[in-house]
Structure 1
Amino acid sequence: MSGAAVEAQGLVKTYKGRGGEVEAVKGVDLRIEPGEIFGFLGPNGAGKSTTVRMLTTLLTITRGSATVAGVDVARDPDQARRRMGVALQEAGLDPRQTGRELLVLQARLFGMGGGEAAERAGELLRLVELEDAADRLIKGYSGGMKRRLDLASALVHRPEVLFLDEPTTGLDPASRITVWEEVRRINELGTTVFLTTQYLEEADQLCGRLAIIDGGLIVREGTPESLKAELRERTGLSHDPTLDDVFLDATGRTRAKAEGAVSEVVA
């Protein structure tokens, strides 16, 4: 991939509300390099989901531009979709299928022949360590197994960029750590990962860089280490701040206000 894996310039989304026009995203600029795991954080209503939906062609762009793997998502959404994988918070899995059947079907929908589809399904089952459960019905899978199968499904067509929307929400600590391992493994194979999460520890563990959005605008961006160091130097803290502290400072929220919107879960 040449150039940015994901790039947005002046991204704006407006809606018509009862009281007039509502600007959900007010001019977002982003650049994510190939091979990164990039975290996107924000409280409820900050514009995080709206931004991601524009980048993944699920919402139209009001103003500005965005590319994924070099393809303009507004001008050529079909080609952009072939370059990206998307795993939403609610896994779209048919409980009546087996894991293998789901992946084979997905591969066939992307135009692969029977043999190629079966081979690709086997590769992905090995990648997410579901070989032993491959021929069991999905309705018998645990929550963590379903998330790993959903990751595999998003990778069937070998996307250059993988968008993950809160991939560990609702999982127990052990399953969460397993999904983290899968994300790292996928990234090590060359896939750029765009991760939205409500868990600050998750962003700290996985992301090389991250951005915090609030009020429809990016209010902080950098590596977790640089953001924490900047906060300590600027405020004169006597202790090392956490990513929680960075988030609260960036959004002007207290811990009471932030509770339920973005939280840290220690595994």
Structure 2
Amino acid sequence: MMPVKALLSVHNFHESAALMFQDIVDCIKQRGLRRGFKSILGPEGGYFLDAKRSEHFHMYIFEDEKKIRFIYSLIKTHSGLLDQGKGKTKHYLSVCRNLEVDPEFPLLLVYGVFITTNGAGQRFNTDDRVKREWVRNSICLDVPDNSVFQYKPAKFCWNKSLDIGLGSSNSWYLDRASIKLRSLVCLQPDKTGSSSNAKIAVENSDGNDCIQHTSGCGITDEGGSHENGILNSSDINDIVEDLFNM
């Protein structure tokens, strides 16, 4: 029965990760009702598995106070985006090395504000494919190896404001964004930004939910628990607050 328990644990992890992202979106919308905002794309994504691909992601873009804000959860990277023969892996793999995460299962959350200039803003506003591409590009995913970034941190790290973008006014690819990166699992980075102490939630194979699902904007007296290594309700509230303040 052990293989069944392991499969159930993985299933629960993916299911609960989706529920957690929906909690984040619900919290954003609840706060947005008090501020005035509009959804631009999504929420969209999910866990996809077939003969041609496997991936798990969620993304949501909205406008608030004339700023285009987004949040992106990447649990499992699309296998096609890791094909080195397509020449679009170098920058993403560099980010993963900086963060000390697995490129195929990065288990990360990125959120921030898109900064558009000139023709880039027009293309972003009129083409949902460009919106999705910019979200992926915020962690250098699907960016051509020969791209030259006008905005790029010397090192990607957790929980710090970073500028990223190619700065090309007519490009399909990301113009510019201010972002922050969080792990979806409980990380205790050291002072150098190392994430070597990550506690991976999918190791839990007892058949119980690997992620504590929250509801109602995650507002609880207890604030949740990191026992299973996943972001809790207090984390969600902090992330949403941070996103609105960027």
TM-score normalised by structure 2 residue count: 0.29
Q: Which structure's CA Rg is the greater one?
A: 1
- In the superposition, the TM-score normalised over structure 1's length comes to 0.27
